[in-house]
Structure 1
């Protein structure tokens, strides 16, 4: 079993390009804009990246086993929408919250079942579940924002503690939990073993289907948390609020060192990937650049960083062979 424990270890140079890119962006934007390095803007960056980070942490678990979840963005607002709609109709707090959470967990389980039981590729299976989540949230919300009447939820997820936004604290907590699971638990090592080589994982006695199901359920927990974080930033819960975050959650994880093919995962790297994406968007916003042009620039910068990481990784492999 000693080989299993080696899965997921990263090269000391694995994220060097990403760290250099973040440092360069901070220096450039600090010099060329007036308020980029201000406390107010840095706080805004952390708040802006919080939801994306937590969503990407959940995605990292899925990528680690060589699968992909493209339903997380559509699922993100499901729990908050159900909770807010039920609570507005005088359903007590705890039952409304439990039903909302269970709904997202049910879709997470559905994601896993269409993969392990029906044998569908994860991209296709989660695409179908994404459509289900989109439809449910819009039907429940009647495609309109719902007032979040419970002040406690607004404070817990959208308030501040000692001047620090609670969303940032949630992001830090979920990072610690995700990193602990993937690096310090047998379950995390098993996920990496499955992603690296499923045949070897079966030989080691790892129950593949069970771990895939648990990975998607764990992903759903992170999606639910991200959903309440995002929807409690304002007093209204909006259906479909996370649908634009799907690709960025995958990119943040991959930029941070998680392998799309599985077998390697890095939660801290995922955090840094989300930070990188947010810094680029924030800096371009300060230049008053069109959102459409911003999308092009962000995409090109991401391609450059990913290419740099790939070239460095290939170079390291060549050096090892020699």
Structure 2
């Protein structure tokens, strides 16, 4: 089978090779993978920002495919079913525990960047019929993360949601929030990107380069209320402003560190506003199933910015690195 291996912490080390097809063991299934979507996690791993890796590694935390073979003891599944595997393959439900970090697709174990993969049957979720392979591949990390943010912040009609950027998680959060009846404000450094997300349903957009005091602008737009949910996808460089932009009793849902991972925070406004600062680590299979159920119920269409062929994997990573995308970057394994 064709596969991409990462042999060193550099995008140049993503190499297309031939490997033997794996075989499923007890409790596992073999899936034929059709598409992979890229996340910042994949980029961080390939550029040495995520610590040491087990090399060589097949990267790719997110993929979509069809079951072709069942391992011993697997029930409730059959060949031909369209599925996505959860990224944290041993976290099936409930609260996260330390041992759930031992099995991460595309990080500690081989991931989606191959024609075939063996995955735990317990980590699988069925794909809604109306989604393409490319759309389905965006679900495990981005959709689950966005869904968890909406649920944990108790977003409902009249809530105000602030999204920092126009990446895949933000676009899912936009669509979930609008389906819940919320008002959505999005930040970007590009007026062109802001025009795109407004066409997708965003209520207001703020260009943070033109308006660097964007936290104050959020207060103006909300008549002094602030945002009930701030999806903090940047990290250290924006965190203080996110605290200022948040409403009293609001939630700051922390999902990224592209802007730095070391924080120096003003404690007083966190106390005064009684803010909920919640870290997120993707989610369990049950979280993924709930996110997909909401997508199916609301007929949400995952937004894909650009699709690359299998032999264009390095170009896909560099495109994600350029931060020029609105929505998800996908690699089609059949091309």
Q: Mark yes or no: TM-score above 0.5.
A: no
Higher strand share goes to which structure? Answer: 2
Per the normalisation by structure 2, the TM-score is: 0.23
Question: Larger % of helix: which?
Answer: 1
TM-score by length of 1: 0.24
